């Protein structure tokens, strides 16, 4: 082969290879990336009792307040709101993907309860099981991950 022919063959191979790489380029069209969504932002939590008074205020993970429940009783409902970054009280997120969750450290002392069909709403009750002190933490969930967590809030169960 002459140098020209060799060069032509070589360039042909290079060109076709690059075209083929382009045509068969790795693709993940069948697995699109999860969309970026709006996330709720807060720096604190306010828990109101059934009378509308504030029982607990926790800001930047710190509080001096305690939530109370009584052994053998289901508390009245508690309503949850939040502080924004300017420490103004704001309503909970009203989005399809957002919900509330809570975690009680010692479930022998108390458990949480929500009305059937209202699971994930920003209201809850406490069932006192035995006297003692534990903690409760409030979460704002976005689908299955936490957009926000309150920090630990003391929860005391007392006898009647």
The site for another protein (CB under 8 A) is made up of: 1, 6, 9-10, 12-14, 16-18, 20-28, 30-31, 33-36, 39, 41-44, 59-61, 142-149, 151
- The span from the CA of 141 to the CA of 102, in Å, is 10
CB of 38 or CB of 74, closer to another protein: 38
Q: How far is the CB of 73 from another protein (least distance, A)?
A: 31
Q: How far is the CB of 7 from another protein (least distance, A)?
A: 10
Determine contact, residues 15/58, Cβ cutoff 8 Å.
no
CB of 91 or CB of 116, closer to another protein: 91
CB of 35 or CB of 52, closer to another protein: 35
Specify which residues 80 forms β-bridges with: 47
- The span from the CA of 55 to the CA of 125, in Å, is 13
- The span from the CA of 101 to the CA of 146, in Å, is 9
Give the three-class secondary structure for 146.
strand
CB of 73 or CB of 85, closer to another protein: 85
């Amino acid at each position: 082969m002459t140098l020209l022919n060799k060069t032509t063959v070589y360039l042909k191979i290079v060109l076709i290879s690059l075209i083929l790489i382009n045509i068969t380029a790795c693709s993940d069209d069948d697995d699109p990336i999860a969309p970026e969504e709006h996330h709720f932002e807060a720096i604190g939590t306010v828990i109101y009792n059934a009378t509308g008074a504030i029982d607990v205020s926790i800001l930047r993970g710190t509080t001096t307040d305690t939530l109370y429940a009584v052994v053998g009783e289901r508390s009245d409902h508690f309503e949850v709101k939040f502080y924004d970054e300017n420490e103004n009280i704001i309503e909970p997120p009203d989005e399809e993907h957002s919900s509330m969750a809570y975690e009680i450290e010692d479930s022998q002392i108390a458990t949480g309860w929500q009305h059937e069909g209202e699971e994930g709403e920003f209201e809850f009750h406490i069932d006192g099981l035995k006297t003692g002190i534990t903690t409760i933490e409030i979460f704002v969930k976005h689908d299955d991950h936490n957009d926000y967590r309150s920090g630990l809030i003391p929860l005391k169960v007392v006898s009647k």
